[in-house]
Structure 1
Amino acid sequence: MAHYKLSSASRATCPQELIDLILGKTDSADKETLKSCALVARSFRPTSQELIFSDLTILPSGCDSISALQRLADVLSASPHLALHVRTLHLVQPGFYEPCVWMKSDILPAIFSMFTKLGSLDIRVYNWDSFHSNCEQAIYALITRSSLSSIELKEARLKTNARLLSLLQCLPSSLKSASFLNVFADDHLPYRDDPKSAFTELHQLRLASLHLDSFAPTLFHWAIRTVDLNCLRHLHTTVEEDTMNDVQQLLDGAAYVETYHISFGSVFSHHENPNLEKMLGLRTLEISVTLDWEEIEEVGGQGQHNPLNDAMRTLDTAPHTITHLVLNLNIWNPDELSCFGSTPFKHLGEDRPALQDVVVRIVSRYDNHLALQRGIRYLEAVFYQLHKGGMLTVVAVRPPS
């Protein structure tokens, strides 16, 4: 059989669009696979590099060293176009109390200045006092990017409200989603002295999504004064004793919110409950309740306070347009579910004809699986009519250790 040597012109080639489509199916978190793909052929390299740098963490676990940071700086310096691929940036402090290397480095400002197309910023830093001054200013500069559409600030402890306000002042008008989780400001004075003047320099924001799971009243005052509540479609708030009135102001202005997630603490004992009657656009309501009988106290001599009743009274105020209800029960012993009775749920299906489904999630660290099963059976009995009509989904969840 004769053998023929194919010329380069006659070799079969794969269209670049198909290569990009295949590489696009690769998880951007799988950096090692993407690095291997970048070495396959020249046609694989641009898309592989774009995926490698599209989601960047400074610095990943086990890589928190000056040498790793310097290598990143060297790569971006040699190939500045790679920095333009960075769309999502995670700044992570692995431990609560020990500052990591990147927080003390003066290398980062030069790196951050290259991320001119950043779309999403995730900052998980506990102790902001550990920042190198230039590094903190570089983070503020990142936040001001007009390309930024999403920001998440998590587990942040700032010493003063003034410092928190200076960060909020950097938020660009392009922002569409903001999330503040466990953010603390240690003093409660500056915003009370002159609430209006403290917010005069802040941008008016047209957010579609806002998540306030925080104990810092300043954040709620900021949201009330600077966020156009008519633009909100997704809202998540935690209700505490000292933020109840602020949360209510948000709810009164959020007429077009479609999805609302409200979290109650186990010791919440306010004499009033959040009122949702003005949220006329509401379709999905998610309620999270922490149930721990050891923490729940007697209120006004009327016996042990029941956070689940607070949740159901809040549901009673919601418009009848709600089609989806999600109830998250964070509990210790599922057997304690029987303490709550069926009264709050008895006529749920009859009172809300638009309701299409009810999802109940049991979140528990309890080791006894039989107790979880008993908890599920109890909930099915409580929601019997919904269960009979196929509207109830009960999910038992054991969070990772």
Structure 2
Amino acid sequence: MAHHNRSGASRATCPQELIELILGNTDSADKQTLKSCALVARSFRPPSQKLIFSDLTILPAGRDSIAALQRLADVLSASPHLALHVRTLHLVQPDFHKPCVWMKSDIIPPVLSMFTNLESLNLRIYNWDSFHSTCEQAIYALITRSFLSSIEVKGARLETNARLLSLLRYLPAGLESASFLDLFAEYWSSLDDPSSPSAELQQLRLTSLHLDSIAPALFDWAIRTVDVKFLRHLHTMVNEDTMDAIQQLLDVAVYVETYHLSFWSIFSHDENPNLENMQGLRTLEITVKLDWEEIEEVEGQDRHNPLNDAMRTLKTAPHTVEHLVLNLEVWNPDELYHFMESGSLEHLGEDRAALRDVVVRIVSRYDHSAALQRGIRYLEGVLYHLHKKGMLTVVTVRPPTYK
């Protein structure tokens, strides 16, 4: 397509749909490239801005200052339509050991009120009790947005369960996915009981729920408010304090298709999670932390071996399971043999006709590549019957550092 200017010369133009298609393939996290694209031509600016602001972080590490926050407020005040592009918002406390600037600033509440089309909210805030009250209320207002479909709360330390329940009460009925990772409430009060009449909690039809936490009140909330008929993806971390509540969830989670179970270090509960009621289960993932020094401290008792706990849980899984993932978190892969002496893995997958594949991940930060390879070969030998059938994949992965 050509466009003729007044001088009679023509210049090539590009259909707007094609421009948006090209920019749509640009990584929204690559802000610098998108900012350059916005300067190419007037037709490039709106789609570039839409991507730049679709995923917004307040404030990234190294930019936590009043000046940076004020610049963001000035930009949105001058061009309020940009706030309508924000679909995913990350509120980050860059330093876990001290409150950051935006948590105590009166600049942030008016900014947050502009994100009316928010769909996903990620809160990575450690010192929750250090919030300025107006800032905390602005976050609660964000949570109530009708378009909000996903929320993640990570690393929060709350003074009481009452603060936790205050957050949970604001979750909207339309929420589809909720993740609570490494969340802790310091102490319990009778006024914090989520089953008490005064605790007005919204009934939720979540399809995905992730409870990687040791806060019992969080599990009590899930039992009371989550309609498990809609739940398809579930992730829980189990320890002695949360075992009974998790079992209550599992007993009614008949429609869950994907379940990820993490064992908290050494699991020494008298019973293991029982999955027999999860008749819709297709993918089962189990994560265990293997620490030989801790095992030695309890004199090698079998019930204290996390791998044995995992295998006992696996035996209760329905025969509908098609995909099995086992994550073995171990520092030195050469220590794997300490946990395999009981033969807990040798008969893995037998008598399970539906099972299609087994993935075993050695999760390790160990730098010795030869030890990592030995770990892979060792597990291939232990699970030779699966390896021979082509059903086994053993890999090593390095977990990302916690930020």
TM over 0.5: yes
Q: CA RMSD in A?
A: 2.0
Counterpart check, 1:51 vs 2:51: yes
Question: What secondary structure sits across from 1:26 in the alignment?
Answer: coil
State the partner residue of 1:270: 269
Alpha-carbon deviation of 1:301? Answer: 8.8
CA distance in 2, matches of 1:302, 1:27: 50
Alpha-carbon deviation of 1:364? Answer: 1.4
- Listed one character per residue, the Cα deviations across residues 258-312 of structure 1 (whole Å, up to 9, x for unaligned) are 0000001222111101000110110000000000022236669946721101101
Counterpart check, 1:178 vs 2:178: yes
State the partner residue of 1:230: 229
Q: 1:64 to 1:301 in 2, by over 3 A?
A: closer
Question: What secondary structure sits across from 2:284 in the alignment?
Answer: strand
CA distance in 2, matches of 1:48, 1:284: 39
Alpha-carbon deviation of 1:369? Answer: 2.2
TM-score by length of 1: 0.95
CA distance in 2, matches of 1:304, 1:342: 11
What does residue range 370-389 of structure 1 map to in structure 2 within 5 Å? 370-389=370-389
CA distance in 2, matches of 1:170, 1:211: 18
State the partner residue of 2:258: 259
1:38 touches 1:45 (CA, 8 Å); kept in 2? yes
What does residue range 267-346 of structure 1 map to in structure 2 within 5 Å? 267-296=266-295, 302=301, 305-339=304-338, 340-341=340-341, 343-346=343-346
Count residues in correspondence: 397
State the partner residue of 1:114: 114
- Listed one character per residue, the Cα deviations across residues 303-362 of structure 1 (whole Å, up to 9, x for unaligned) are 672110110111110110111000000012212211223622333333111111100100
State the partner residue of 1:240: 239
TM-score by length of 2: 0.94
State the partner residue of 2:162: 162
Alpha-carbon deviation of 1:141? Answer: 0.7
State the partner residue of 1:75: 75
CA distance in 2, matches of 1:95, 1:25: 33
Counterpart check, 1:145 vs 2:145: yes
Alpha-carbon deviation of 1:196? Answer: 1.9
- Listed one character per residue, the Cα deviations across residues 147-193 of structure 1 (whole Å, up to 9, x for unaligned) are 1000000000000111110110000001000000011100123367x
Q: 1:337 to 1:12 in 2, by over 3 A?
A: same
Q: Name the aligned partner's letter for residue 125 of structure 1.
A: I
Counterpart check, 1:390 vs 2:390: yes
Q: 1:384 to 1:117 in 2, by over 3 A?
A: same
Counterpart check, 1:35 vs 2:35: yes
What does residue range 354-365 of structure 1 map to in structure 2 within 5 Å? 354-365=354-365
Structure 1: runs of 5+ lacking an equivalent: none
Q: Name the aligned partner's letter for residue 26 of structure 2.
A: T
1:199 touches 1:226 (CA, 8 Å); kept in 2? no
State the partner residue of 2:195: 196
CA distance in 2, matches of 1:104, 1:39: 35
Q: 1:245 to 1:5 in 2, by over 3 A?
A: closer
